[in-house]
Amino acid sequence: MMKDGGSAFPQHGWTKDHDTLERMANQGGMSLRDWFAGMALGNCSYKMVNPEHQASLAYQLADAMVAERDKEV
């Protein structure tokens, strides 16, 4: 399974369970990997005319950022 970094923008909600309010995270939405790739793509040179190549490079960079983020300091 590919590591995607989890949710980029997790949303939190409240649920009532047996008269107790509990905070729960909704893990829906785009992954951190997708967010990183989009940010990387925004910094690509527009002189590149091959969109498939640009997308591939953006996701390679995103994968490297997720892997670096997961390293223990």
Q: pLDDT of 2-46, one tens digit each?
A: 678 777 776 666 666 655 555 555 556 788 898 899 888 877 666
Residue type, 73: V
Alpha-carbon separation of residue 67 from 31, 49, 71 (angstroms): 14, 28, 7
pLDDT reported for residue 62: 92
Comparing 6 with 58, the larger pLDDT belongs to 58
pLDDT reported for residue 19: 56
Taking residue 37's Cβ as centre, other Cβ atoms within 10 Å add up to: 23
